[in-house]
Amino acid sequence: MRALFSNEQQRLLAAIWDEEPSVLQQNGFDAQGINIYQRNLLANAQRALSISFPTIFELLDSDISASLVHQFLRSSPPSQGDWGQWGETFTTFLSNHEISEDYPYLPDCAALDWHIHCGLHGKDQTFERPSLQLLSDSEPEYITVIFNQNVKVISSQYPITEILQAHHHSDEIQRKGAMKKAQTALLSIPKEHWTMIYRPEFQPQVTRLSASEGNFMHCLMSGSTLAQALDMVSSDHDFVFEKWLIAAIERNLIYYFSKDKP
């Protein structure tokens, strides 16, 4: 789904949604031709977003989805040649849209979809094992963790991991179980849910994190030192750094350890 946007096409995109025929005529465009272009553009946009945000399109019926795409296309027209790179602001668009009043979990589900989409097309990065020596040679106060760029953590009040699995898990029993958990959580008192996207090999994976794991990783990914992150979870005796480290290396979460200070 590639299309090159020349200066002429950019000018067309700027005028295409204008309701005044005189504006089109002033720019040298034929109204009938514009109508055909508009339908094709909308179809391409809807197809692109349905690929990048499959959960949103599962949650909403086709009529609402078409309307949302139409509005999003008007507010954020594509500016580059690859439709697959379009849609980064869709999460913000949904959070400001009235539909999120009825479906408040949509923006977070969209953020999860987008990170999975980006992870699918992200660069391959594998753990630089020699940097592991820093854990023996340096104090935690001087160590920072650089994560694989395909790793993201999301904090949400909603069970977005279960919502995703309820619509996309390959196993029907797992889908039904995830749907039940999601429905129960949505009817309960809101609480913080942590979700991680990572890519151990070629395909992005999604998993739930405990509160300690989520806060620990978010702290590290925000640039804090290992010591600062460990202090944050020090009260949770179930969190064991060595256990987390082994799992992190197995899941290809860490790119390398860095020593920023002498």
Residues 11 and 98 in one domain: yes
Model confidence at 23: pLDDT above 80 = no
Residue 112 lies in a domain: yes
CA-derived radius of gyration, the chain? 22
What's the distance, CA 42 to chain centroid? 23
Please count the structural domains in the chain: 2
Q: For 236-261, what is the mean pLDDT?
A: 94
Residue 81 lies in a domain: yes
Query: What's this model's pTM, rounded to 2 decimal places?
Result: 0.87
Q: Give the whole-angstrom CA distance, residue 238 versus residue 50.
A: 40
Domain membership of residue 87 (yes or no) is yes
d(CA 163, CA 63): 21
Domain assignment of residue 68, given as a range: 7-120
Confidence (pLDDT) at 16: 63
- The yes-or-no verdict on residue 1 having pLDDT over 70 is no
Residues 35 and 148 in one domain: no
Q: Is the pLDDT of residue 2 over 60?
A: no
116 and 134 together in one domain: no
Residue 182 lies in a domain: no
Q: Are residues 134 and 251 in the same domain?
A: yes
171 domain residue, yes or no: no
Residues 138 and 252 in one domain: yes
Quickly state the pLDDT bin for 15 (edges 50, 70, 90): low
- Considering 73, 102, 120, which residue would you say is the last residue of a domain? 120
User: Is 199 inside a domain boundary?
Assistant: yes
Q: Are residues 133 and 238 in the same domain?
A: yes
d(C-alpha 110, C-alpha 249), whole Å: 28
Residues 114 and 147 in one domain: no
| pLDDT value for 3 | 45
pLDDT for 65: 81
Question: Which amino acid is present at 56?
Answer: I
- Check whether residue 37 and residue 82 sit in a common domain: yes
24 belongs to a structural domain: yes
- Give per-residue pLDDT as tens, 69-116: 889 988 888 877 688 889 999 999 999 999 999 999 999 999 999 999
Rounded Cα distance between 49 and 83, Å, is 9
Residues 11 and 52 in one domain: yes
Q: Which residues of 23-33 are buried (b: 16+ CB within 10 A; e: fewer)?
A: ebeeeebeeee
Q: Is the pLDDT of residue 27 over 70?
A: no
Same domain assignment for residues 79 and 105: yes
The domain boundary residue, chosen from 91, 120, 149: 120
The region of weakest confidence among 14-18, 37-41, 137-141 is 14-18
Residue 4: which pLDDT band, with cuts at 50, 70 and 90? very low
Q: In what order do the strands lie in the sheet with 152-156?
A: 152-156, 193-198, 205-209
**From CA 19, how far away is CA 37, in angstroms rounded?**
15
Q: Are residues 113 and 222 in the same domain?
A: no
253 & 152 share domain: yes
Q: Is residue 143 part of a domain?
A: yes
- Kindly state the DSSP code that residue 140 receives in the 8-state scheme: G
Domain boundary among 92, 120, 148: 120
Say how far apart CA 141 and CA 135 lie, in whole Å: 11
How does pLDDT run across 115-144, given as a tens digit for each residue?
999 999 999 999 999 999 999 999 999 999
Task: Tell me what the pLDDT averaged over the chain comes to.
Answer: 88
